[in-house]
Amino acid sequence: MQKTALILATLLAASPLWAKPVTARQAATCKTQASCAYFGDVYGGDRAFRTAVQAVFRGSGNKAPAWVAAGVMSPLLPIQQGRELYLRGSVCQPHNCPHQLWVLYQPRRQQLVARYTREDGSEVWLGRPSAAQKALLQDENDPASPLAGKLTDSTPLPLVLP
């Protein structure tokens, strides 16, 4: 019984969701990808971020999937475009990563837009993103993305775009 409790405690301690809850404003200050907070860190530590995620789903007539709180997560990377500072990151359903959510969050305004890929592969825009925001939510490997070739492990952050 003690061995099971020790294993469970170790797994919970290693989980990014409980590792270090931070606010979106704190997350926006990271300087390297390795030092950035993960989606779950901010989801668990910033009520406004969590509320914004849930609100964009409600605005589309749906509820956020349960896995959003504890899925497979990426770091939230700070991106400066013009005057706007965003946090960009993703979370996907465990064992089914084509079912995913990409978010673009403005900590100062506490506003979020997103690209949600449903389980059937169809995509839905959440929160009425502008054309510039949609471009930032596209895959950075897409040559049409303003992030194409600009996000590497050594990219200084925030990434500044025109």
- The dotted CATH code for 2-161 is 3.40.1420.10
Query: Are the C-beta atoms of residues 104 and 161 closer than 8 Å to each other?
Result: no
> How confident is the model over 39-44, as a mean pLDDT?
96
Structure pTM? Answer: 0.86
Helices (H), the chain: 2-14, 16-19, 24-27, 39-45, 47-59, 131-137
**Per-residue pLDDT tens over the stretch 120-134:** 999 999 999 999 999
Considering Cα of 60, then 90, then 9, then 7, what sign does the dihedral take? Answer: positive
pLDDT value of residue 80: 97
Q: What does the angle CA 143 – CA 148 – CA 151 come to, to the nearest 5 degrees?
A: 160
pLDDT number for residue 127: 97
Q: Using omega within 30 degrees of 0 as the cis cutoff, is the peptide bond preceding 158 cis?
A: yes
Domains in the chain: boundaries: 2-161
* Res. 3: pLDDT tops 70: no
What is the average pLDDT across 47-67?
A: 96
Residue 20: per-residue pLDDT? 78
Question: Tell me: the pLDDT tens digits for 71-121?
Answer: 999 999 999 999 999 999 999 999 999 999 999 999 999 999 999 999 999
Which pLDDT does position 161 carry in this prediction? 94
- CB contact set of 106 (below 8 Å; sequence gap of 6+): 84, 85, 86, 112
